[in-house]
Amino acid sequence: MKIRVGHLYPEYLNIYADRGNIAVLARRAALRGHELAVESIGLGDELEPGGHDLLYIGGGQDREQALIAPDLTSKDEPIREAVARGVAVLAVCGGYQLLGRGYRGRDGSLMPGACLFPHETRAGETRMIGDVLLECELEPGAPHPLAGFENHAGRTLLDPGAEPLGQVVFGFGNDGESGFEGCRVGRAIGTYLHGPLLPRNPWLADWLLSQALAHASGGDPPELDPLPDELEAEAYRVAAGRARARGGRR
């Protein structure tokens, strides 16, 4: 089956190993006999709500985020409609921030976002940097650990009742205080974790592929055949070990 991926602003939001995440999705899809067809969606390009099975948006510097923010907000309704139709989303770092209501600077100004995730990000005084370990449960009764690296000054505050991607075991997470990291709305997930994220967390890559295949087929998410993930397991082990070395949740 062909999995249609819309990669938002790859020429601007591309500093956190986003190509690595796309490469993992493509390889793991191919090993199951599927094709990942990636389309770049840039400034001024139209986004069709039913035109993709998975949307991906990465991270960037403040200047690049400011450049794409007005265009992204012009795509807010198609993005929300796509998610309502069952399209999967992975948003990382700056992309995660801008899929909320926006980023509020220390001067009180707001860089508006696409309003997919129920949160707002506010500028902090210091950066939160280091390896992170989460406990996630995207499917009831199937908890998974998730390891990654965070580097952000923004404090993302979830609205009451919003669903986080996971609970922080080691690291800072969204704001360094709540114990939450990331956010989830249906098949859309946003996170500060990069490095890249998917090579060391193959279960999450497969979850995204399964959700995208469900949209492509119009059915339920399929159970994917397991793959030999010895190298991925070692990458996770190293990242999780560094996170544990930081000590308790910060």
Cβ–Cβ under 8 Å, residues 149 and 130:
yes
The mean pLDDT of 217-236, rounded to a whole number, is 97
Judge residue 245's burial from the number of C-beta atoms within 10 Å of its C-beta, 0-12 exposed, 13-18 middle, 19 or more buried.
exposed
Compute the chain's Rg from CA coordinates. Answer: 17
Separation CA 238–CA 42 (nearest Å) = 35
Catalytic annotation on 136? no
| The pLDDT of residue 48 is above 60 | yes
Active-site residue (options: 7, 119, 152, 194): 194
Separation CA 210–CA 213 (nearest Å) = 5
Split at pLDDT 50, 70, 90, the class of 208 is very high
Architecture of the CATH domain 2-245: 3-Layer(aba) Sandwich (3.40)
Tokens of 95: 């992309």
Q: Is 214 helix (H, G, I), strand (E, B) or coil?
A: helix
Catalytic annotation on 119? no
| The pLDDT of residue 250 is above 90 | no
Residue 168: its H or E element? strand 166-170
| The pLDDT of residue 39 is above 80 | yes
| The pLDDT of residue 107 is above 60 | yes
In this prediction, residue 248 carries a pLDDT of 63
Residue type, 38: V
- Tell me the percentage of the chain whose pLDDT exceeds 70: 98
Split at pLDDT 50, 70, 90, the class of 16 is confident
Split at pLDDT 50, 70, 90, the class of 249 is low
Active-site residue (options: 7, 34, 52, 93): 93
Mean pLDDT in the chain? 95
In this prediction, residue 18 carries a pLDDT of 80
Cα 4 versus chain centre, distance = 17
Q: Out of 66-70, 104-108, 215-219, 238-242, pick the least confident.
A: 104-108
Which pTM was predicted? 0.96
The mean pLDDT of 219-223, rounded to a whole number, is 97
Residue type, 51: G
Tokens of 228: 């030999």
Domain ranges of the chain: 2-245
